[in-house]
């Protein structure tokens, strides 16, 4: 017998559908490692240097928060064909800090079947990435390409 992971298609989604992800713990080492590769600025690399900045202490790159958010969403939404973003809007109301435990709460806000390609549609998803103190470290509104269930597909 073959095991199946449940897969989600456009047909399974509706505006208002919401989800809550698992959690991820963020360490100072991970913050510094990501920043060293992609965002080498003092407030993302060094706690002492960060104290003299707007952040007042070590803070993760916003792109690190975005990447961690992606992992939490990928683990939560098993879209058939994958989670493929075409464009998005992002904001970082608060920084992610060492020791933070993040999770994502999201919902489907809009579904637009493609007019030219009947096998797919665009889903607008809105999410908040939230720390252990209920602080919002990221808001994301993303347009995702999602496929319809093929006519021949058996669930």
For residue 42, state whether it binds a second copy (rule: CB under 8 A).
yes
Cβ 55 to a second copy shortest distance, Å: 8
Write out the two tokens for 139: 């808001």
- To 5 degrees, how large is the angle CA 62–CA 26–CA 129? 55
Q: Which residues contact 29 (CB under 8 A, 6 or more apart)?
A: none
Contact region with a second copy (CB under 8 A), list: 11-19, 75-83, 98-106, 124-132: 75-83
Separation between Cα atoms, residue 35 and residue 112, nearest integer Å: 37
Does 61 interact with a second copy (rule: CB under 8 A)?
yes
Contact between 62 and a second copy by CB under 8 A: the answer reads yes
* Least gap, CB of 102 to a second copy (angstroms): 13
Query: In Å, what is the CA distance from 10 to each residue of 25, 34, 64, 95, 97?
Result: 31, 34, 29, 33, 36
- What x/- string results for residues 84 through 123 when contact with a second copy is judged by CB under 8 A? xxxxxxxxx-------------------------------
Token look-up 């999770």 returns 103
Out of 11, 15, 20, 37, the residue judged to bind a second copy by CB under 8 A: 37
């Amino acid at each position: 017998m073959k095991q199946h992971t449940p897969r989600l298609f456009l047909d399974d989604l509706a505006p208002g559908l919401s989800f809550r992800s698992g959690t991820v713990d963020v360490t100072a080492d991970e913050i510094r490692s990501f920043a060293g590769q992609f965002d080498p600025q003092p407030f993302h690399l060094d706690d002492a240097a960060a104290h003299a900045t707007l952040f007042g202490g070590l803070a993760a790159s916003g792109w690190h928060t975005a990447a961690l958010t992606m992992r939490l969403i990928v683990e939560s939404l098993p879209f058939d064909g994958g989670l493929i973003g075409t464009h998005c809007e992002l904001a970082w109301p608060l920084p992610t800090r060492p020791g933070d435990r993040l999770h994502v709460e999201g919902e489907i806000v809009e579904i637009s079947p493609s007019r030219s390609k009947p096998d797919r549609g665009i889903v607008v998803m809105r999410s908040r990435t939230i720390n252990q103190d209920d602080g919002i470290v990221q808001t994301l509104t993303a347009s995702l390409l999602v496929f319809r269930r093929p006519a021949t597909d058996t669930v």
